[in-house]
Amino acid sequence: MKKIALSVVIASTVALAACGGGAANNTAAADANAMTNATDAMNAAAADAQNAAAAITNEVSAAANQATAAATDAANSATAAAGNAANAAAAH
Protein backbone atom coordinates (compact mmCIF):
# COMPACT_ATOMS: atom_id res chain seq x y z
CA MET A 1 0.00 0.00 0.00
CA LYS A 2 2.86 2.38 0.78
CA LYS A 3 4.25 1.90 -2.73
CA ILE A 4 0.86 2.71 -4.25
CA ALA A 5 0.57 5.87 -2.15
CA LEU A 6 4.15 6.84 -3.04
CA SER A 7 3.49 6.33 -6.74
CA VAL A 8 0.41 8.57 -6.50
CA VAL A 9 2.43 11.29 -4.74
CA ILE A 10 5.25 11.06 -7.28
CA ALA A 11 2.86 11.06 -10.24
CA SER A 12 1.04 14.09 -8.78
CA THR A 13 4.35 15.88 -8.31
CA VAL A 14 5.34 15.16 -11.90
CA ALA A 15 1.98 16.38 -13.18
CA LEU A 16 2.23 19.54 -11.09
CA ALA A 17 5.75 20.22 -12.36
CA ALA A 18 4.61 19.68 -15.94
CA CYS A 19 1.87 22.27 -15.46
CA GLY A 20 4.28 24.92 -14.21
CA GLY A 21 3.66 24.40 -10.53
CA GLY A 22 7.15 23.12 -9.83
CA ALA A 23 10.29 25.09 -9.11
CA ALA A 24 11.45 27.26 -11.99
CA ASN A 25 14.90 25.72 -12.00
CA ASN A 26 13.80 22.14 -12.73
CA THR A 27 15.92 20.73 -15.49
CA ALA A 28 14.87 18.29 -18.14
CA ALA A 29 17.10 15.69 -16.50
CA ALA A 30 15.42 16.17 -13.14
CA ASP A 31 11.99 15.91 -14.76
CA ALA A 32 13.04 12.75 -16.58
CA ASN A 33 14.40 11.32 -13.34
CA ALA A 34 11.16 12.10 -11.52
CA MET A 35 9.19 10.43 -14.30
CA THR A 36 11.45 7.37 -14.16
CA ASN A 37 11.02 7.17 -10.39
CA ALA A 38 7.25 7.51 -10.73
CA THR A 39 7.18 4.77 -13.36
CA ASP A 40 9.33 2.50 -11.22
CA ALA A 41 7.13 3.10 -8.17
CA MET A 42 3.96 2.39 -10.16
CA ASN A 43 5.48 -0.77 -11.64
CA ALA A 44 6.46 -1.94 -8.16
CA ALA A 45 2.95 -1.23 -6.88
CA ALA A 46 1.45 -3.15 -9.80
CA ALA A 47 3.76 -6.10 -9.10
CA ASP A 48 2.76 -6.04 -5.43
CA ALA A 49 -0.92 -6.02 -6.40
CA GLN A 50 -0.40 -8.96 -8.78
CA ASN A 51 1.45 -10.90 -6.07
CA ALA A 52 -1.33 -10.19 -3.58
CA ALA A 53 -3.94 -11.34 -6.10
CA ALA A 54 -1.98 -14.53 -6.75
CA ALA A 55 -1.71 -15.20 -3.02
CA ILE A 56 -5.46 -14.73 -2.61
CA THR A 57 -6.13 -17.03 -5.56
CA ASN A 58 -3.90 -19.68 -3.98
CA GLU A 59 -5.72 -19.36 -0.66
CA VAL A 60 -9.13 -19.65 -2.32
CA SER A 61 -7.97 -22.70 -4.30
CA ALA A 62 -6.63 -24.34 -1.15
CA ALA A 63 -9.92 -23.68 0.66
CA ALA A 64 -11.88 -25.11 -2.28
CA ASN A 65 -9.70 -28.22 -2.28
CA GLN A 66 -10.26 -28.68 1.46
CA ALA A 67 -14.01 -28.23 1.03
CA THR A 68 -14.06 -30.78 -1.78
CA ALA A 69 -12.11 -33.27 0.33
CA ALA A 70 -14.45 -32.73 3.28
CA ALA A 71 -17.52 -33.21 1.07
CA THR A 72 -16.03 -36.39 -0.37
CA ASP A 73 -15.30 -37.70 3.12
CA ALA A 74 -18.84 -36.89 4.24
CA ALA A 75 -20.33 -38.61 1.20
CA ASN A 76 -18.17 -41.68 1.78
CA SER A 77 -19.16 -41.77 5.45
CA ALA A 78 -22.85 -41.45 4.58
CA THR A 79 -22.55 -44.24 2.02
CA ALA A 80 -20.78 -46.49 4.52
CA ALA A 81 -23.35 -45.74 7.21
CA ALA A 82 -26.21 -46.50 4.84
CA GLY A 83 -24.56 -49.76 3.82
CA ASN A 84 -24.00 -50.72 7.45
CA ALA A 85 -27.60 -49.94 8.30
CA ALA A 86 -28.85 -51.99 5.37
CA ASN A 87 -26.63 -54.92 6.38
CA ALA A 88 -27.75 -54.69 9.98
CA ALA A 89 -31.40 -54.61 8.94
CA ALA A 90 -30.90 -57.62 6.65
CA ALA A 91 -29.22 -59.57 9.43
CA HIS A 92 -32.27 -59.30 11.66
pLDDT tens string 38-81: 899 999 999 999 999 999 999 999 999 999 999 999 999 999 99
pLDDT for 9 equals: 67
Is the model's pTM score more than 0.75?
no
Q: Above 70 in pLDDT, residue 34?
A: yes
Q: For residues 17 and 50, which has the higher predicted lDDT (pLDDT)?
A: 50
pLDDT for 50 equals: 95
Residue 27, classed as helix, strand or coil, is: coil
Residue 3, Ramachandran bin (φ over 0: left; ψ between -120 and 50: alpha; else beta): alpha
Q: Please calculate the CA angle 78-84-88 and round it to the nearest 5 degrees.
A: 145
